[in-house]
Amino acid sequence: MKLDSKVPKGPIAEKWTTYKDKIDLVNPANKRNIDIIVVGTGLAGGSAAATLAELGYNVKAFCYQDSPRRAHSIAAQGGINAAKNYMGDGDSNYRLFYDTVKGGDYRSREANVHRLAEVSGNIIDQCVAQGVPFARDYGGLLDNRSFGGVLVSRTFYAKGQTGQQLLLGAYSAMNRQIARGKIEMFNRHEMLDVVKVDGKARGIIARDLISGEIERHSAHAVVIATGGYGNVYFLSTNAMGSNATAAWKIHKKGAYFANPCYTQIHPTCIPRSGDYQSKLTLMSESLRNDGRIWVPKHLEDAKAIQEGKLKPTQIPEENRDYYLERRYPAFGNLVPRDVASRAAKERCDAGYGVNATGEAVYLDFAAAFVRYGTEQAKIKGIHNPSKEEIIKLGQAIIEEKYGNLFQMYEKIIAENPYETPMMIYPATHYTMGGVWVDYNLMTTVPGLYCIGEANFSDHGANRLGASALMQGLADGYFVLPYTIGDYLSDDIRTGAIPTDSHEFDEVEKEVKDRLDFFINNEGTHSVDYFHKKLGKVMWDKVGMARNEKHLKEAITEIKKIRENFWKNVKVPGGLNEFNQELEKAGRVADFLELGELFAKDALDRNESCGGHFREESVEKSGPQKGEAKRNDKDYAYVAAWEYKGEPADAILHKEELEFKDIELKTRSYK
């Protein structure tokens, strides 16, 4: 099948508007006869479910938590981007479009990214109308801060809890529709497969996670909004439950999976503490607005710190290496995530890391305390303030901005970050790859849509900070509700989709057989045993730096772990009860296939771009010496994989990327 991105013709700034004007609509009376399943009620699925129901469709929404309020989206800390130019610093739709395409290392689809920038402002208006308490400045206007990879301030935020506040907004909008009966909410339900009838997505098989009952649900279209697959690494900043099962199951039923190797390793996370850890914690990128990143300039100082003989506060200014400011003077500490992560790894690999494992760098707020404190002293009319007074005043401002993040850090590390610099290290955080979708957000299966982090999205090979929430809410509030109508306009006479068909019988049987296998397999090892093994291979060989030898080894090793899993996995408990080990078994089985495709994709892409760094593809000379080297001649495409059985047999389809409005350039933040 030839991939058709269905990007409308015409000038980029007019495509979306003209397209919306021309697509088919479903009249309000007919919407009442159309059912839509939305799987996932994080920011993407929650906003889509609420909007589709508001439009008049009958929505069935599913999530595996006990409430949509607990979706992983709640963890989002730093903010959400929008090109409102409230700060008057020269922002525009074009600049947001440009920054996102450049930030993604020229591996995203121009038309989608421009649309994203166009609707970004609407998202903020919508959320404010819902009552989302964005931070405001002294005069009461919405405040903005800056995130990596841009030279303007366009990030709207609610302290360090932006995701939570946005999710409460979307959840309120959903609740209104639940109360009206337009959304039927299925909490604690996990979609275990999709059902196709005559080639179209017409339903799902779900498991009631409390009773264990297997259920059939039908609809005229199915929307997958199930989040990213970062937990393929076992340790990540994602919620423990985040998984790829829905995305992987639809891949196995015909939806192509795009760019699986594009993963974001976030530079500012709390370093790993040992082998018995189950997750990692993010320290929001917003902290890089005020925190300066450094390691000791001299190896002997680094060694003394690693051995606990020296404190960071004892190292004088001239003996510190603010390596991001040194290497990237134009963007400094606010370089994009992939660049900052690699730079931290480079320093730590060279021996300059600052904790016992040598895998940490400092994020230091001392300069910000003085800067803000001096300003506050002036504002408050304090003449000749002492150094201590200044620092105290400055700390109060930092507390106002990031207090909950500082508190979280102190609880985990047991050190007061107001007194000593934070320690941070890169960790898996977000997946730019995902289910391939066209301009309508439809997958390669008719009637099957994918939105939010689960799709291969608008971020190319690297996502800029605060752009995931923007994309998820753009998809759910402003894009899908239009595009899905164009498809559903052909379904107004179809009537309800029956679930007593052989198509439902077959898929339900597949699901039940698999669950039976897990319960009855007399294995020797827990699900986590295999997940940890997979995660270690992924981190060591498909992590921040990749090379041909390691990728080939990873493919072989993951296959072996998978074979061992199917022989030796042990799942305690029963089928017809709340059984979290059983839930995990299915998810890890899918990660074990996805992980191999991930490594295969990384091997196939013999260039460095964004988060995908191939050690073989580095600039050897010139001003970019040592930086990642992209290869536009051979790799300016989206890699969309078709399932053919084993991951090794997957077939590559290429969507060639066209750059008509942005010139392909070397991506430099110097």
Ligand X SMILES: Cc1cc2nc3c(=O)[nH]c(=O)nc-3n(C[C@H](O)[C@H](O)[C@H](O)COP(=O)(O)OP(=O)(O)OC[C@H]3O[C@@H](n4cnc5c(N)ncnc54)[C@H](O)[C@@H]3O)c2cc1C
| Catalytic residue (one of 337, 605, 614, 667) | 337
Quick one: which segment of 71-79, 330-338, 543-551, 624-632 binds ligand X (CB under 6 A)? 71-79
Q: How many whole angstroms separate alpha carbon 292 and alpha carbon 279?
A: 25
Please tell me whether residue 85 binds ligand X under the rule CB under 6 A. Answer: no
Structure tokens that stand for 349 in this block: 């690999």
Please tell me whether residue 101 binds ligand X under the rule CB under 6 A. Answer: no
**Rounded least distance, CB 227 to ligand X, Å:** 3
The DSSP bridge pattern shows strands 221-224 and 35-39 to be parallel
Q: How many whole angstroms separate alpha carbon 614 and alpha carbon 605?
A: 8
By CB under 6 A, the count of residues binding ligand X is: 44
Residue 252's φ and ψ, nearest 5 degrees, are -70, -15
Q: How many whole angstroms separate alpha carbon 127 and alpha carbon 73?
A: 15
Please tell me whether residue 41 binds ligand X under the rule CB under 6 A. Answer: yes
Closer residue to ligand X, CB minimum distance, 445 or 551: 445
Q: Which of 103, 169, 227, 460 binds ligand X (CB under 6 A)?
A: 227
Q: Which of 246, 461, 488, 507 binds ligand X (CB under 6 A)?
A: 246
Please tell me whether residue 225 binds ligand X under the rule CB under 6 A. Answer: yes
Cα–Cα separations (whole angstroms), residue 292 to 56, 254, 368 = 50, 47, 9
Structure tokens that stand for 186 in this block: 């299925």
Quick one: which segment of 17-25, 35-43, 625-633, 645-653 binds ligand X (CB under 6 A)? 35-43
Please tell me whether residue 76 binds ligand X under the rule CB under 6 A. Answer: yes
Q: Is 337 a catalytic residue?
A: yes
Sketch the per residue contact string, 162 through 181, with ligand X: x for CB under 6 A, - otherwise.
xx------------------
Q: Give the DSSP letter string of 253-311.
A: TT--EE-TT-EEEEEEEPPP--TT-----B--GGGGGT-EEEEESSHHHHHHHHTTS--
**Rounded least distance, CB 482 to ligand X, Å:** 19
Listed in sequence order, the DSSP H helices in 1-151 are: 12-22, 28-31, 43-55, 93-103, 110-130
Q: Which of 36, 113, 191, 340 binds ligand X (CB under 6 A)?
A: 191
- Footprint on residues 302-361 left by ligand X (CB under 6 A): none
Please tell me whether residue 433 binds ligand X under the rule CB under 6 A. Answer: no
**Rounded least distance, CB 232 to ligand X, Å:** 14
Please tell me whether residue 262 binds ligand X under the rule CB under 6 A. Answer: no
Please tell me whether residue 44 binds ligand X under the rule CB under 6 A. Answer: yes
**Rounded least distance, CB 513 to ligand X, Å:** 18
Q: How many whole angstroms separate alpha carbon 653 and alpha carbon 478?
A: 29
Residue 150's φ and ψ, nearest 5 degrees, are -135, 160
- Where do we find the tokens 């970004």? 120
Q: Which of 16, 19, 57, 64 binds ligand X (CB under 6 A)?
A: 64
Q: How many whole angstroms separate alpha carbon 343 and alpha carbon 334?
A: 12
Beta bridge partners of 612: 609
Closer residue to ligand X, CB minimum distance, 377 or 442: 442
Q: Please give the single-letter amino acid code of residue 254.
A: G
Please tell me whether residue 545 binds ligand X under the rule CB under 6 A. Answer: no
**Rounded least distance, CB 610 to ligand X, Å:** 16
Residue 406's contacts (CB-CB under 8 Å, 6 or more residues apart) are: 398, 399, 417, 418
Q: Which of 71, 83, 113, 442 binds ligand X (CB under 6 A)?
A: 71
Closer residue to ligand X, CB minimum distance, 253 or 303: 253
Please tell me whether residue 289 binds ligand X under the rule CB under 6 A. Answer: no
Please tell me whether residue 468 binds ligand X under the rule CB under 6 A. Answer: yes
Rg for the chain, CA atoms, rounded: 25
Q: By C-alpha distance, which of 251, 195, 118 is closest to 501? A: 195
Q: How many whole angstroms separate alpha carbon 523 and alpha carbon 30?
A: 52
Structure tokens that stand for 41 in this block: 């009620």
Closer residue to ligand X, CB minimum distance, 58 or 284: 284
Closer residue to ligand X, CB minimum distance, 243 or 617: 243
Q: Which residue's Cβ lies closest to ligand X?
A: 42
**Rounded least distance, CB 271 to ligand X, Å:** 15
Angle of helix 366-379 relative to helix 387-413, nearest 10 degrees? 140
Cα–Cα separations (whole angstroms), residue 428 to 282, 431, 668 = 10, 9, 23
E strand residue ranges, 378-534: 422-431, 434-435, 448-450
Classify each residue of 116-141 as buried b or exposed e, where b means 16 or more C-beta atoms within 10 Å of its C-beta. Answer: bbbbbbebbebbeebebebbeeeeee
Closer residue to ligand X, CB minimum distance, 286 or 376: 286
**Rounded least distance, CB 182 to ligand X, Å:** 19
**Rounded least distance, CB 246 to ligand X, Å:** 4
Q: Which of 112, 226, 268, 579 binds ligand X (CB under 6 A)?
A: 226
Please tell me whether residue 242 binds ligand X under the rule CB under 6 A. Answer: yes
Q: Which of 26, 43, 55, 235 binds ligand X (CB under 6 A)?
A: 43
**Rounded least distance, CB 11 to ligand X, Å:** 28
Please tell me whether residue 190 binds ligand X under the rule CB under 6 A. Answer: yes
Please tell me whether residue 282 binds ligand X under the rule CB under 6 A. Answer: yes
Quick one: which segment of 118-126, 237-245, 391-399, 432-440 binds ligand X (CB under 6 A)? 237-245
DSSP 650: P
Quick one: which segment of 20-28, 238-246, 299-307, 363-371 binds ligand X (CB under 6 A)? 238-246
Please tell me whether residue 72 binds ligand X under the rule CB under 6 A. Answer: yes
Please tell me whether residue 245 binds ligand X under the rule CB under 6 A. Answer: yes
Q: By C-alpha distance, which of 487, 546, 452, 602 is closest to 38? A: 452
Q: How many whole angstroms separate alpha carbon 522 and alpha carbon 229?
A: 28
Please tell me whether residue 42 binds ligand X under the rule CB under 6 A. Answer: yes
Closer residue to ligand X, CB minimum distance, 586 or 647: 586
Closer residue to ligand X, CB minimum distance, 73 or 608: 73
Please tell me whether residue 466 binds ligand X under the rule CB under 6 A. Answer: yes
Long-range contacts of 626-635 (CB under 8 A, 24+ apart): 627/668, 628/105, 628/338, 628/342, 630/105, 630/106, 630/666, 630/667, 631/606, 631/607, 632/106, 632/664, 634/606, 634/607, 635/605, 635/606, 635/607, 635/609
Please tell me whether residue 457 binds ligand X under the rule CB under 6 A. Answer: no
Quick one: which segment of 99-107, 224-232, 315-323, 572-580 binds ligand X (CB under 6 A)? 224-232
**Rounded least distance, CB 451 to ligand X, Å:** 7
Beta bridge partners of 294: 362
Closer residue to ligand X, CB minimum distance, 78 or 296: 78
Please tell me whether residue 37 binds ligand X under the rule CB under 6 A. Answer: no
Q: How many whole angstroms separate alpha carbon 573 and alpha carbon 390?
A: 60
Question: Would you please indicate which residues are annotated as catalytic (active-site) residues?
Answer: 337
What residues line the site for ligand X (CB under 6 A)? Answer: 39-45, 62-65, 71-73, 75-80, 162-163, 190-191, 225-227, 237-238, 242-243, 245-246, 282, 429-430, 452-454, 466-469, 472
